[in-house]
A and B are shown apart, each in its own frame.
Chain A
């Protein structure tokens, strides 16, 4: 199993007291599988995604990524995991504004030590980015920026791709185009895909879908 989450719990301290966001989440994801995680705003979807992406630490439970438990990892080991095994596509793209599209596309792959020029060329062509390689992110539209973000993630060939509302900032047409491309490319890389989304259209295109309510997966 590529990803295994068992009885995961996470709470936050707020001014009103402790807020229990995840109350014992269990889920599994196989390599090459595509999973949608849906739920209402504030239900903890993104939190779960960030915990799986080793961005945050959890209170209790277990997360196993490709046979490695995340719980005992220190800061450096978590960074190593993010660099080499996980790719994250954010709603707001989070490209590096100071670098050109070409550099952004290669950046994660080079960090992971897996730069493959042919693959990156192929990605930029299929994502329709060849015209913009010398442009800076700010000069691109939202859809173009999201395609760069997807390209950046795929270029590193991670085992697991986490996408947080990847079409949340895009119109329906652009959203469909971007998702179609992403699903094709993910399939080709054989990576597992976990998408957090509000969109039922997007969720329907996944292999399966889970609903997160009251801090539990149903």
Chain B
């Protein structure tokens, strides 16, 4: 019986202090919203990958393709079948309908292994005959159903549940017609079960090689990194939001100590009291959690298009960009809100329940300022740093890398109040004027009440500095790398080899150099990768972005005695210059040097072009880089266009490629930066709510000073200054922490996620700008309580002496 009464009494606190209740709800809603938003983005993107996986090709872990990357002839396919190989042909390509690019995947359903045919499994009344006969039934993704219906040869369009976006799955016969690739096969899927007796591949089809289809795994790895990055930010924002929640709950519990004591004295059992507090917390969590889920949906809807564009542009992963509200979000959103509330209130709840029935309420500030709690915080912080160092030395993997980042942030946040208190103590010792002495001492006393908000601000600022340093460093490195990598003025892809030969002849005398950019898909150290052939030229020797190089490395590579490899291959396989690696199944070459290769997840190697054509005689020889005086490049490009009819992607100038690359780069970090700003906003709100709730408790501390002869305006000014000072001190601590974070992101997280390490650059102007933003945000947050105090009626202040509120 006592439970409802206790609950009503406890709840009266919130109706008496609606602002505090509002603060708590907003804090928890923001935390839940950011978390749910990020999770919604991840769920939606992963759902898109699942669709893609449910389609055909990424399922195929082994495929056969020509060593020279050319299409496979039907005769080769037939020969393989006759030699006992169970394979299924696939023809892939893209077509454009009304400015929409559509992926066409042609398959042979009859020979395709059933386990890979998931995209038709959702269709109850799937008409196999219709799929195989002209005019064809095609299975398409919902987004292109209308366009697909207009294609010639298409009789019926079925919207498939498991078809990746912008994709038509059709019989290979129709695909040949749509893609204008009659008699061609892009690759052959190797069925998981093969006959015991079959002819060796080298004998049955020597021009083919078997490739472990790593691209799916690569996409998984890269997108996993991307989503882990998002999750880390979601978690950070959630943690920052929880600081608000903990601050508010802590305050409410302190304010209700007397109330709880009275309830117990009046006969409410400890159990009922605990239960009432839990019920109250759960109610708050459910209300705020529900609001947070709705907020999360809007955040996700706002960010998803950018995420989709990033994933499409950078990793080639298809994400629709549409968001559907899922029932599961309610469950996870409410669960995280409840878990967060219980976590944030655990200590306060425990303290309150352990309180002896007749214990007097101790002034909160003093209790929190005890040396013992400082000692424990230092101990916890030190312990966390030891764990971080241990993980740094002996751990590996992306989760460990992010864990190190999280541990360092938490350790720094824990020692922040004591570090600031130490500085304030020092200032106090050097203060001469009585008001300044009081100011420093009082600021130190206010710290416990503001420490959680300051910790939140520290995390948000450090994350901001860290991420912007990482992005800025990456941008500078990437731009420099593009300058090196794209040293040639023009890049040409001829329509065919005949045109290529004509073009090269024509360019004789018109260009300074014509450099082949020929490459083949092949295995490198057992992984699917790409081998490039290049001719020895100053362009490479002077500009290629080498990270490490043996003394005569260029000569060795030029003479075909060595190979250059990209950084990610070197890191993944622990290869250093001088080590020997295996290329193209059976060719061994020593590594002469390692070059940076940002944006590419796959292994890559560079060898002398003659060696490449020797290993792969049928390599496609249509792509070139042209060196020409920069002033003449545009004229030459125009001449090539006129003479050879090359346009669009077949003739690209250096500036266009760089611009496109930088655009993709910028888009990649749009979401990260948006989350960065959101986190900073939450931290700003944490400061605001802390100052606002503290301001209601400040009168007893400020009234005596006012009575001793300071005006309300002077005191309000000092309150305002105090908030700015604490924010500024937090920023000073955030700077080294943010730089440490940037180093971790560049040197640990990036290596684990992408396989490359980036140099770190410092951007002082960014810090100044951030400091200005931080101070302006704090000034805005502090202005309202300060103004409120300035306008406080003296009668209110006098009440402090009359009633000792």
Contact = CB atoms under 8 A, between A and B. Distances in A.
B801 A98 contact: no
B712 A94 contact: no
A56 B445 contact: no
Contacts of A107: 434, 437-438, 708
A81 B705 CA distance: 14
Given A57-B794, A82-B709, A90-B801, A98 B434 contact: no
A75 B713 contact: yes
Contacts of A110: 433-434
Nearest to B367: A138
B437 A75 contact: no
B701 interface: yes
29 contacts: A12-B795, A46-B802, A50-B798, A50-B801, A55-B794, A57-B794, A75-B711, A75-B712, A76-B713, A78-B711, A79-B706, A79-B709, A79-B710, A79-B714, A88-B707, A90-B707, A94-B704, A96-B705, A98-B441, A98-B444, A99-B437, A99-B441, A106-B434, A110-B434, A111-B434, A111-B708, A112-B709, A136-B366, A164-B801
Interface of A: 12, 46, 50, 53, 55-57, 75-76, 78-84, 88, 90-92, 94-99, 103, 106-108, 110-112, 136, 138, 164
A46 B701 CA distance: 20
B328 interface: no
A93 B468 CA distance: 52
A62 B801 CA distance: 23
Contacts of B444: 98
B704 A96 contact: yes
Contact of A55 (B433, B705, B707): B707
A146 to B, nearest CB: 14
Contact of A80 (B441, B705, B707, B709): B709
Interface in B439-497: 441-442, 444-445
The 9 closest A-B pairs by CB, nearest first: A83-B709, A110-B434, A98-B445, A98-B441, A94-B704, A82-B709, A79-B711, A92-B804, A98-B442
Contacts of B365: 97
Nearest to B804: A92
A84 B442 CA distance: 23
Contacts, number: 91
A32 B435 CA distance: 30
A84 B709 contact: yes
A107 B704 CA distance: 11
Given A90-B704, A112-B709, 12 more contacts: A46-B801, A46-B802, A80-B709, A81-B709, A83-B709, A88-B708, A94-B704, A95-B704, A98-B444, A110-B433, A111-B435, A138-B363
A139 to B, nearest CB: 9
Nearest to A12: B795
Contacts of B709: 79-84, 108, 111-112
Nearest to A85: B709
A83 B708 contact: yes
Nearest to B434: A110
Nearest to A57: B794
B381 to A, nearest CB: 25
A111 B444 CA distance: 21
Contacts of B438: 96, 98-99, 107
Given A107-B708, A110-B434, A94 B801 contact: yes
Contacts of B607: none
A177 to B, nearest CB: 23
A76 B711 contact: yes
Contacts of A98: 438, 441-442, 444-445, 701
B562 interface: no
B703 interface: yes
A103 B704 contact: no
Q: Which of B708, B797, B801 has the most CB of A within 10 A?
A: B708
A137 B235 CA distance: 42
Q: Which of A75, A95, A164 has the most CB of B within 10 A?
A: A75
Interface in B753-805: 794-795, 797-798, 800-802, 804
Nearest to A153: B708
B441 A103 contact: yes
Given A76-B711, A111-B708, A138-B363, A96 B434 contact: no
